[in-house]
Amino acid sequence: MTTFGNLFLTAFVAVLVICPSFALSPFVIHESTVWETGLGEISAYRTPILINTPGGLLAFCGARKYSKSDTGAKVVTMRRSLDGGLTWKPTVFLVDDFDAPNGLNIGVVIVDTKTNLMILTFSFCVHNLCPEHIPRNYLMRSSDWGYSWTEPEDFAQNNPYFQAWPYGFGPGYGIIKQYPPNVGRMFACGHTVDRDKFKTQSMNCLYSDDMGKTWTIGASIYSVPYGMEKKSRDLIAGEPQPVELPDGSITVNIRNSYGYHCNCRLIAKSFDGGVSFPWQNITLDEELIEPGCQGSLLVHNKVMYFSNPNSNAGRLNMTVKYSFDYGENWVGSVQIYPNVSEYSCLSPIDDNNIGVLYEKDGYHKMGFAKIRLNP
């Protein structure tokens, strides 16, 4: 081969490495409805969580019994798929708060395949409508990928700080750190539920170095101005989703609840294992527009994916975007559902497929879409 030919081949290979879009052509190959109201005693199936485990693909949600409201009685439901989301086993009810005036809210699911451990968290009474007015957080464990669960354990039992703390994890998933620093650390994020017009709400990430027995409050973002009633464009960091990058850093994609600076997502990065977010690492991503809604983030085979209602006009147009440089640039997208759609959760299925579980049609359905990454 001539010298020119060698140079051309080298340059072409370099382009492939820098711009792997030559090898990614995502498209939806399967859609189904996992839950639908009107088929039982549930008013709305909300707050989706989708997790892939050695025991199958698991869909969770916080089903609301009597209304679509954040308050009121709820039950945590789960369905299992053993064929990558093509079919689903019957619904299993995991936690029921019966007729609580301000019941439970599903939090996060954390999976550790090295120890065969899965953790589910949920909060109770965070909106101050319970008779005793004491908010609580609970944790359940499974060692057989969701076929059986331990009884709920109160976070405050081993962590007194969590006594009466109005905090809710997620909704979404937590992570186990795979890269230094702090390999094996459990890390999950959520936010406090401010009872006085968002005066002191904060987004807080918690971590555990003993497999969920004890927890420490780590990286946090407090509302600005703190202690004052919020106005449009003030800073309120809402529902977050963390992921770990190959360099060991943690990126958290966060709901920008009051449209601080723009109707787009807040991004926070930690380089110390989730202990802190330096202010210079808290930014906004104007490519990720939002109507003020939860979104999901996923890193799969060195590609970052983001799902949310891709609109400033309202909660509609569920879309999955993808990035080859971990969110610095978003180079493509797949439209999942053009109409009304709300919360979502992304999960890997296998090397060539990911899934998204999402609310649609005004919380009337919980839809599932399977996305093939390459033909």
- The residues assigned a catalytic role are 70, 343, 359
**Tokens representing residue 220 in the block:** 């946090």
- The full DSSP string for 314-369 is SSEEEEEEEESSTTS---EEEEEEEEEEEEEEEEEEETTEEEEEEEETTTTEEEEE
DSSP annotation of 270 reads E
Instruction: Find the farthest-apart pair of alpha carbons in the chain and give their distance in angstroms, rounded.
Output: 82
β-strand pairing of 172-173 with 167-169:
unpaired
DSSP annotation of 161 reads G
Question: Whole-angstrom Cα distance, residue 219 to residue 221?
Answer: 7
CA-closest candidate to residue 210, choices 159, 261, 135: 159
Containing H/E element for 12?
helix 3-18
Beta strands in 54-199 (DSSP E): 56-64, 74-81, 92-96, 104-112, 117-124, 136-142, 153-154, 167-169, 172-173, 175-176, 186-192
Which residue(s) pair with 354 in the sheet? Answer: 348, 371
Peptide bond into 181 cis (omega under 30): yes
DSSP annotation of 224 reads B
Helix (H, G, I), strand (E, B) or coil at 183: coil
Question: Whole-angstrom Cα distance, residue 10 to residue 300?
Answer: 27
Task: Report the residue count for the chain.
Answer: 375
CA-closest candidate to residue 60, choices 11, 106, 117, 115: 106
Residue found under tokens 């140079």: 7
